[in-house]
């Protein structure tokens, strides 16, 4: 079977290059122009094969979703018959119910749009909470959720083998337990209550932290307040040092600054979203995922 072409946007060239290298897919760029009024013009390569993979992480999601709304049908007009979206960070997964009457259930709506545009969708550590399977949130023919937590845990183990691994909230328990099983880390999970975008209350787990090097492991750092609050409590409780390992380094606004000011010694992240803290590449993981889908 002919290799699919990997289409990418210029601002994700680093990950695209890595992915092309490990997967052997030929790489072509989608040209993107923003008009003065904010509208987007895309230009795709005109020599597309039957199978196309589009790489688009959905941080700063609103313009990037528009990129996909324009790119996918254009790829079909240019001859593509099978489209796979590789979205290492998949946005809008947290609003999985109407918390107050009248709220849009964004997870369901965005998931449906993507499923209408693409035959297959691959992502990494999507924030699935009340909806457990990616396929239920994104009902494409194929929907594959990969996890970068084992890669991050490996990195943590190399740097701080005796770390106490802490998840800042209930949702992180899955990654904490997996990492603890693989490397024998002592571990625990906090209880978190969110009162607002930048207002979270955290309760530490009942594990001794005094004198320990603690690594907070989570899927997303967005406003950074979850990590700030957890770090402060850990340091107040006598932790020797606090490090952070996250899959998706969104770091909105002043997030990185407030995390560092809270006393976090170092931040490790994956390149699912390009950021200066990236130390783990998700390209090999995505390449495996693409192979897995191709076999089905
Ligand atoms: C939510 O439960 C996620 O696992 C993250 O903990 C959360 O999205 C982080 O958000 P923020 O950085 O804004 O506190």
pLDDT in tens, 114-123: 999 999 999 9
For the chain, how big is the Rg over CA atoms in Å? 20
Asked if domains 5-147+281-295 and 149-271 share a fold, the reply is yes
Residue 279 — pLDDT band, cuts 50, 70, 90? Answer: very high
List pLDDT tens digits, range 177-206: 999 999 999 999 999 999 999 999 999 999
- Least confident window among 73-77, 83-87, 127-131, 163-167: 127-131
Ligand 1 centroid from CA 222, angstroms: 6
Query: Span 5-147+281-295: which CATH code?
Result: 3.40.50.2020
The mean pLDDT value for 88-104 works out to 96
Of 236, 178, 179, 177, the C-alpha closest to 202 is: 236
pLDDT at 194: 93
CATH tag, 149-271: 3.40.50.2020
Q: Does residue 22 have a pLDDT over 80?
A: yes
State the first-to-last Cα distance of the chain, in angstroms, to the nearest integer: 14
Residue whose pair of structure tokens reads 């490790």 in the numeric block: 268
- Name which of 238, 244, 240 is nearest 256 in CA terms: 244
Q: Which of 92, 147, 222 to mutate to test the pocket of ligand 1 (most atoms within 8 A of CB)?
A: 222
Protein residue with its CA nearest to atom 8 in ligand 1: 220
Nearest ligand 1 atom to alpha carbon 219 = 4
**What pLDDT is recorded for position 296?**
87
The pTM of this model reads: 0.95
Average pLDDT over residues 34-40: 97
Provide the mean pLDDT of the chain.
96
Q: What is the DSSP string of the chain?
A: -PPPEEEEEGGGHHHHHHHHHHH---EEEEEEEE-TTS-EEEE--S---SEEEEE---SSHHHHHHHHHHHHHHHHHTT--EEEEEESS--S-S--S-SSTT---HHHHHHHHHHHH-SEEEEES---SSS--HHHHS-SSEEEEE--HHHHHHHHHHH-TTPEEEESSGGGHHHHHHHHHHH--EEEE-EEEEEETTEEEEE--SS--TT-EEEEEEEEESSSHHHHHHHHHHHHTT-SEEEEEEEEE---TTHHHHHHHTTEEEEEEETTS--TTEEE--HHHHHHHHHHHHH-
Q: What's the CA-to-centroid distance between 221 and ligand 1, angstroms?
A: 6
User: With bands split at pLDDT 50, 70 and 90, how would you rate the model's confidence at 65?
Assistant: very high
**Ligand 1 atom nearest to CA at 250:** 12
Residues having CB within 6 Å of any atom of ligand 1: 127, 168-169, 171-172, 200, 218-226
Atom 5 of ligand 1: nearest residue by CA position: 220
For position 27, what pLDDT does the model report? Answer: 98
Query: Per-domain residue ranges for the chain?
Result: 5-147+281-295, 149-271
pLDDT of residue 153: 95
What whole-number distance in Å separates Cα of residue 226 and Cα of residue 215? 14
Instruction: Provide, rounded to the nearest whole percent, the portion of the chain with pLDDT above 90.
Output: 98
Residue 33 — pLDDT band, cuts 50, 70, 90? Answer: very high
| 1 pLDDT more than 80 | no
Q: What is the pLDDT of residues 205-245, one digit of tens each?
A: 999 999 999 999 999 999 999 999 999 999 999 999 999 99
Ligand 1 centroid from CA 198, angstroms? 10
The catalytic residue positions are 192
């Amino acid at each position: 079977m002919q290799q699919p072409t990997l289409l990418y946007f210029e601002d994700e060239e680093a990950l695209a290059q890595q992915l092309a290298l490990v997967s052997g897919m030929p790489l072509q760029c989608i040209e993107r122009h923003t008009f003065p009024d904010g509208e987007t013009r895309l230009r795709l390569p005109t020599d597309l094969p039957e199978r196309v993979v589009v790489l688009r992480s959905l941080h700063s999601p609103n313009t990037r979703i528009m990129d996909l709304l324009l790119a996918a049908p254009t790829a079909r007009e240019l001859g593509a018959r099978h489209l796979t979206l590789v979205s290492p960070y998949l946005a809008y997964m947290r609003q999985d119910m109407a918390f107050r009457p009248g709220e849009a259930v964004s997870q369901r709506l965005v998931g449906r749009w993507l499923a209408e545009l693409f035959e297959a969708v691959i992502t990494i550590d999507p924030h699935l909470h009340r909806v457990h399977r990616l396929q239920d949130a994104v009902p494409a023919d194929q929907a594959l959720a990969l996890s970068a937590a084992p890669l991050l845990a490996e990195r943590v183990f190399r740097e701080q083998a005796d770390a106490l691994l802490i998840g800042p909230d209930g949702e992180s328990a899955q990654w904490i337990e997996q990492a603890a099983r693989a490397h024998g880390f002592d571990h625990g999970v906090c209880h978190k209550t969110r009162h607002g975008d930048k207002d979270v209350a955290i309760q530490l787990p009942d594990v001794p932290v005094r004198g320990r090097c603690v690594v907070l492991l989570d899927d997303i750092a967005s406003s950074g307040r979850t990590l700030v609050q957890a770090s402060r409590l850990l340091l107040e409780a006598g932790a020797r040092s606090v490090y952070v390992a996250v899959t998706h380094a969104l770091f909105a606004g002043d997030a990185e600054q407030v995390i560092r000011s809270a006393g976090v010694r170092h931040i490790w992240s994956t390149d699912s979203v390009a950021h200066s803290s990236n130390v783990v590449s998700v390209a090999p993981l995505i390449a495996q995922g693409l192979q897995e889908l191709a076999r089905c």
